[in-house]
Amino acid sequence: MWAGGIGVAVSLFAMPLAAQSGSSKAPSPLAVLAPVTFTSTSAENVFVVVSANDGVKDLTLRLNDGPSVMPRRSDRNIHHFRTRLAIGPNVIRVIGSTGNTTVAEELAIFRLAKVGMRAVAPFPKYYFHTDLFEKRCKSCHETAPETASEKDPTVKSVCLKCHTPLVSEKFVHGPIAVGTCSICHNLSSEPNRYQLKQASFDLCLLCHTKTAEALKTSKFTHGPLGAALCDVCHEPHSSPNLASLRQPSGEICMVCHKTLESLYQTRTYLHIPFKQRMCCKCHDPHYSDENFLLKKTDDQICRSCHQEAMEEHTHPVGVIPKRKLPFEARYGEGGELLCVTCHNPHASEGEHLLPKEGCSACHMM
């Protein structure tokens, strides 16, 4: 850790890297104005604002030695980048050239995980909307939405001048769509402005009242929702996917359900909804009174598509088997046979989603 504790460390953060290292060489023609090096954030994306002398050309940014990206916008000597952070430590390197000489500045920033990896960063939190940072930006940007004209909604007159990427996708979250960031964000919070008014989960339930009521009575709750982390699955601002999902429905399920993704990639026979990644055909993504978040009981789910086939089927369902089956299987609450006792609801190596041995797994024919 740092000698002298956090206070000394924080004072170092505002210094150029050359000054922190004790170097006496000439100042770099580049300067990273934001974010501050050796800080942490829970944000997935950050704006990187760079000041460059007139002679600096071909300015690019690289995150963790990844591909180079160009500035999103340049205003005179100020250049704006936006980059997505990886969870954990990140090194951001800004590179340019002056004649035949390469110039570069870099900074370190730690992205905190919202769930799962509860790594604690040895860095203070980074906030952009403070007096220190806004003072540098006010010559070009309006940063006080409370002074915006009533005829020009706050979200358009102020917020979207910088935060246009947040609303660039097809599906835009309701509060932003009607032009009011202030439904969720406190416009006058101090010392860090525009913080959420409440914990994000509590904010979600203020509008999503059906979910709030169902959580009080439902027997089973999906993990992220039970952990009060709606934004594990949903983008809070805008998304290219229906329901503001971070990935298309079905694909986002596989991010956590790795075993099912393995079945999807390796098994010969796939259940049609599973093959089409339509998990929500059978499962409720939020809550249910049935195991596995099924929308109905096992057999009711099956009958909703296979009613005709089940009427012609001769194998008994709903009876208790006389002996233990020779493979791992699911039974009803009373030990009775279900459709899923023999048929895997996702994927199998056996035709009709049966065990690979088919009926002979139980019936020696």
Give the pair of three-digit tokens for residue 321.
């088997």
Q: C-alpha angle 203/209/214, rounded to 5°?
A: 115
Of residues 226 and 315, more confidently modeled? 226
The topology (CATH level 3) of 5-126 is Immunoglobulin-like (2.60.40)
Cβ contact 234:246 at 8 Å:
yes
Q: How far apart are the first and last CA of the chain?
A: 71
How far, in Å, CA of 360 to CA of 365, rounded?
Answer: 6
Q: Range with the lowest mean pLDDT among 136-150, 174-188, 324-338?
A: 136-150
Question: Would you list the domain boundaries of the chain?
Answer: 5-126, 136-197, 296-365
Mean pLDDT of the chain: 83
Residue 6 pLDDT greater than 60, yes or no: no
**Predicted pLDDT at 154:** 64
pLDDT tens digits for range 261-306: 999 999 999 999 999 999 999 999 999 999 999 999 988 999 899 8
How far, in Å, CA of 14 to CA of 177, rounded?
Answer: 37
**Predicted pLDDT at 294:** 95
Of residues 209 and 362, more confidently modeled? 209
How far, in Å, CA of 195 to CA of 186, rounded?
Answer: 6
Of residues 141 and 333, more confidently modeled? 333
**Predicted pLDDT at 118:** 54
The average pLDDT across 227-248 equals: 92
Q: How many CB atoms lie within 10 A of CB 284?
A: 20
Residue 2 pLDDT greater than 70, yes or no: no
The model's confidence at residue 238, banded by pLDDT at 50, 70 and 90, is very high
Q: Range with the lowest mean pLDDT among 102-111, 231-240, 292-301, 329-338?
A: 329-338
pLDDT tens digits for range 343-359: 999 999 988 898 887 77
Exposed e or buried b for every residue in 11-20, given b needs 16+ CB within 10 A? ebbeeebeee
pTM: 0.77
pLDDT tens digits for range 166-203: 888 999 998 888 878 888 988 888 888 888 998 888 99
